[in-house]
Chains A and B, each alone.
Chain A
Amino acid sequence: DTGVSQNPRHKITKRGQNVTFRCDPISEHNRLYWYRQTLGQGPEFLTYFQNEAQLEKSRLLSDRFSAERPKGSFSTLEIQRTEQGDSAMYLCASSSRGMGPTDTQYFGPGTRLTVL
């Protein structure tokens, strides 16, 4: 399967614990995005990388959230001291940004986080 993969698919944790999610993009894609989606809402942008550089972070991304993309390949999203409001689907997408003004983002299946 050459699509975007995310692990784990589901995570249940207790409030206050730290969690880490992983995203493996399509291999030749240089851009990687993280979104958060809650029930009945569209995906909300969190952050994105071009290669290993984190180019933009949303105001939604509090200091409890950190994302990395070492070596410009896979990415991790860590949430520290989880809160019940963090319960959501965390989506990763990748794209190949060329010379054109935009690109096509391919989404992974998401990691569903439940904070008890």
Chain B
Amino acid sequence: QKEVEQDPGPLSVPEGAIVSLNCTYSNSAFQYFMWYRQYSRKGPELLMYTYSSGNKEDGRFTAQVDKSSKYISLFIRDSQPSDSATYLCAMENTNAGKSTFGDGTTLTVKP
């Protein structure tokens, strides 16, 4: 079983919809949680990171962490066609120098 599980999708929504992306994890040592966006044939780009349980908002993006349930989410409001990409969750143990990634959810936002 992988340490980080992510809904694979694909997910297709109309423009303007609210998108919910989710990951679960099994390693309770994970303390930092990140969301990356990856366009086709490009490297991942960091969208958000968070440490504590609760919500963190940045523009149209909200990251949510529930450490008690080992569950994290990324919400995208007013989704745009330019949001079409693969979204990767990633987690880090504070003592490690590496991130453990989920396998990504492919999102398509249709105009």
B31 contacts partner chain A, Cβ-Cβ < 8 Å: yes
Residue of B nearest to A42 (CB): B101
Q: Which residue of chain A has its CB nearest to the CB of B92?
A: A102
For A52-94 the 0/1 string (1 means CB < 8 A from B) is: 0001101000000000000000000000000000000001010
Binding site for A on B (CB under 8 A): 4, 6, 8, 31-32, 36, 41-46, 49, 51, 88, 90, 92, 94, 96-104
Interchain CA distance A42-B97 in the complex, whole Å: 17
Q: How far is the CB of B102 from chain A (nearest CB, A)?
A: 5
Contacts of B31 in A (CB 8 A): 101-102
How many angstroms from the CA of A48 to the CA of B98 in the assembled complex? Answer: 8
The smallest C-beta distance from B25 to any residue of chain A, in angstroms, reads 13
B97→A56 contact, CB < 8 A: yes
With a cutoff of 8 Å between Cβ atoms, the chain B residues found around residue A108 in the complex are 43
Per the bound structure, the CA–CA distance linking A45 and B104 in Å amounts to 15
B44 touches A102 (CB 8 A): no
Within the complex, the shortest CB–CB distance from B66 to chain A, in Å, comes to: 19
Chain A residues within 8 Å of B101, by CB: 42-44
Query: CA–CA, A112 to B42, complex, Å?
Result: 10
Chain A hits for B43, CB < 8 A: 4, 91, 93, 107-110
Q: Which of chain A's residues have a CB closer than 8 A to the CB of B45?
A: 107
Tell me if A104 is interfacial: C-beta within 8 Å of chain B: yes
A93 to chain B, nearest CB (A): 8
Q: List 19 A-B contacts (CB under 8 A).
A: A33-B97, A40-B103, A42-B4, A42-B90, A42-B101, A42-B103, A43-B88, A43-B101, A45-B100, A56-B96, A56-B98, A93-B43, A102-B49, A102-B92, A102-B94, A106-B46, A107-B44, A109-B41, A109-B43
Q: Are the C-beta atoms of A45 and B99 separated by less than 8 Å? A: yes
Q: A40-B103, A42-B88 are in contact. Are A50 and B97 (CB under 8 A)?
A: yes
Give, as a whole number of angstroms, the nearest-CB distance from A55 to chain B. 6
Interface centre among B42, B43, B100, B101 (most CB of A within 10 A): B43
